[in-house]
Amino acid sequence: LTADEFELLKVLAAHPGRIYTRDQLMDAMYRDERVVSERTVDSHVKKIRRKVADAVPDREIIHSVYGLGYKYEW
């Protein structure tokens, strides 16, 4: 995982089941107030999902919650 992907996964995994909006995830990941697109989070989630699928094909750990954001569930 890249540093940004690891930070995103760390935030999500700290509270399994909690739904985070993209803004909440960006605030937690980028504490230096840099400006990034909302789609940056989507891109990181996609990459994490792909890497997890390579390691554990039958497991999805990051779930999209329509209209709200993302949550982690093992």
pLDDT of res. 38:
76
Tokens 């690891």 correspond to 6
| pTM (2 d.p.) | 0.89
Grade residue 41 by pLDDT with cuts at 50, 70 and 90. very high
Q: Return the exposure string of 31-65: e unless at least 16 CB atoms fall within 10 Å of the residue's CB, then b.
A: eeeeeeeeebbeebbeebeeebeeeeeeeebbeee
Grade residue 29 by pLDDT with cuts at 50, 70 and 90. confident
- Token pair of 53, please? 């699928």
Q: How far apart are CA 59 and CA 40, in angstroms?
A: 23
